[in-house]
Amino acid sequence: MMLLPTARGTYFDGNSAKAHPVILRLSDRLELSGPDVAVCWDLPDLVAGETAAPLSRLGPKSGRGQVEFLDQVFGAALAARCPDLHRRVVAERSGRLRLVLWSVAASGAAILMALYGVPALASRLAPLVPAVIEARLGEAVDRQVLSMLDSPARCDQRDGVASLDRLSARLLRDSGLPDGIQISVHAHRTPNAFTLPGGRMIVLSGLIDQTDTPDELAAVLAHEFGHMVAHDPMRGLIAATGTSLLLSMVIGDLTGSTVLIALGQAALSAGYSRDAESAADAFAVNMVRNAGGDASALAAILERIDHDEDRSSPAVLRSHPFTRERARISRSLAGPKQTTTGLLNAREWAALKDICED
Ligand SMILES: [Zn+2]
């Protein structure tokens, strides 16, 4: 059976700044449905706004309303079906310059707004340093992401946490990454992990369930450390919120919550570019090898996730696309499976597997 492409997104009705969560469905039209939204747009009528990847924004040229989403696979499917989607109206130079200035200002202001709110913005500007911004932003996004996942319980079984600390310390030794990286595990069946600004990582317990060996889990952590090294989360969030804020400005209402929702969505579906994923994979293979683990473990877990992925579900949480291709490349980087003692012993690994047990 052919499945219709779907994605999760946010709908703005053009009258207020309220963000409506919706599911986008591509049939012979683009259907948006959500708790309080049921909209259908003709494909030839759709035009895309200027946004920075991975965010896409589009709406009908003959009507009101816009939808934003981050799923690049869905975006590609849509672009293939909409003849006018990326037809550009040539803007006047002054208009273009204003847009650029707006984008720059919006990117900075979005972050500051999310952290401090508009009134305190000016007075807070002076003492800010980047590390502070990152840490505070990471905290805000951490909360937002968890609330978007329906606030899954934090898994903090003592021996399991000790094993996780041991595993990450082994990977991070001599890695050059800053101290103070915080990894939290939450009970959620989706096999995934997210890196947030400020050295934070959220691991969903479904990922631990999917891994067969400590080296496989280490490989996924190492991949996330690779994103940290490259500052991918921060870059992705700035791109996403900068444009969201622009939309709020156009609509004429500035609300911090719109930006926070966008921040959370960007972190959740963080569709990093193919290059960013490849770089993080290569980093991970090396990091696991340097720690004395099985460098082919990344390929093993990627192959399993690719195989198990439920293709009927919307690609909502599949934050790391191109799984099959990535598995193939990381396997060739790693070479054959290595016989190692494993990065944790059997007792430590069992405790880590049980980190969500009380
Ligand atoms: Zn990734």
Distance 62 CA to ligand 1 centre (A): 38
Could you write out the DSSP letters of every residue in 211-250? -SSHHHHHHHHHHHHHHHHTTHHHHHHHHHHHHHHHHHHH
Look up the CATH number of domain 6-81: 2.30.29
**How many angstroms separate the alpha carbon of residue 272 from the centre of ligand 1?**
7
Alpha carbon of 231 to ligand 1 centroid (Å) = 12
DSSP classification of residue 154: B
Residue 302's contacts (CB-CB under 8 Å, 6 or more residues apart) are 323, 324, 326, 327, 330
Q: How far apart are CA 331 and CA 178, in angstroms?
A: 28
DSSP-based three-state secondary structure for 169 = helix
Contact 208, 185 (CB under 8 A): yes
**Token pair in block for residue 43:** 């494909």
Cα of 264 vs centre of ligand 1, distance in Å, is 16
pLDDT for res 298: 93
Distance from Cα 202 to the centre of ligand 1, integer Å: 13
Measure the N-to-C terminal CA separation of the chain; round to a whole number of Å.
Answer: 42
Distance CA 225, CA 293 (A): 16
- Measured in Å, residue 50 CA sits from the centre of ligand 1 at 25
User: How many CB atoms sit inside 10 A of residue 303's CB?
Assistant: 17
Distance 226 CA to ligand 1 centre (A): 8
Which pLDDT belongs to residue 211? 92
Q: Which secondary structure element, helix H or strand E, spans residue 193, and what is its range?
A: strand 193-196
- Supply the pLDDT for residue 354: 97
- The Å distance, Cα 106 to ligand 1 centre, comes to 26
- Show Cβ contacts of residue 273 under 8 Å, excluding neighbours closer than 6 positions: 53, 54
In angstroms, what is the span from residue 277 Cα to ligand 1's centroid?
Answer: 5
Instruction: Give me ligand 1 centre to Cα 222, in Å.
Output: 10
Per-residue model confidence (pLDDT) at position 222: 97
What is the pLDDT, as a whole number, of residue 125? 34
For the chain, which residues make up each domain, given as ranges? 6-81, 143-235+260-353
Q: How many CA atoms lie within 13 A of 321 on its CB side?
A: 17
Q: In the numeric block, which tokens belong to residue 306? A: 């690719």
Element counts in the chain: helices (H) and strands (E): 13, 10
DSSP 37-63: EEEEEEGGGEEE----TT-EEEEETTS
Which region, left, alpha or beta, applies to residue 301 given φ > 0 means left and ψ of -120 to 50 means alpha?
Answer: alpha
Ligand 1 centre from 143 Cα, in Å? 20
Give the count of beta carbons closer than 10 Å to the beta carbon of residue 306: 14
Q: Residue 122 C-alpha to ligand 1 middle, in angstroms?
A: 35
Question: Under a CB-based contact definition with an 8 Å cutoff, are residues 276 and 72 in contact?
Answer: no
Strand 6-12 relative to strand 66-69, pairing: antiparallel
Partners of 195 in beta bridges: 201
What is the residue whose two structure tokens read 């800053």? 178
Confidence at residue 243, expressed as pLDDT on a 0 to 100 scale: 47
Q: Return per-residue pLDDT of the chain as tens, 358 residues.
A: 556 778 899 998 888 778 888 999 888 889 999 988 988 898 888 888 877 777 788 888 877 888 988 877 778 778 777 777 776 544 445 556 655 665 666 666 666 666 654 334 333 332 333 566 677 778 878 888 898 888 999 999 999 999 999 999 999 998 888 888 999 999 998 888 888 888 999 999 999 998 999 999 999 999 999 998 887 877 776 656 554 544 444 443 334 556 667 777 777 765 677 888 899 999 999 999 999 999 999 999 888 877 665 543 434 334 455 677 888 888 889 888 777 778 999 999 999 999 999 7
Decide if 232 contacts 278 (C-beta within 8 A): no
Task: Evaluate whether 32 touches 11 at the Cβ level (below 8 Å).
Answer: yes
The two structure tokens encoding residue 179: 């101290």
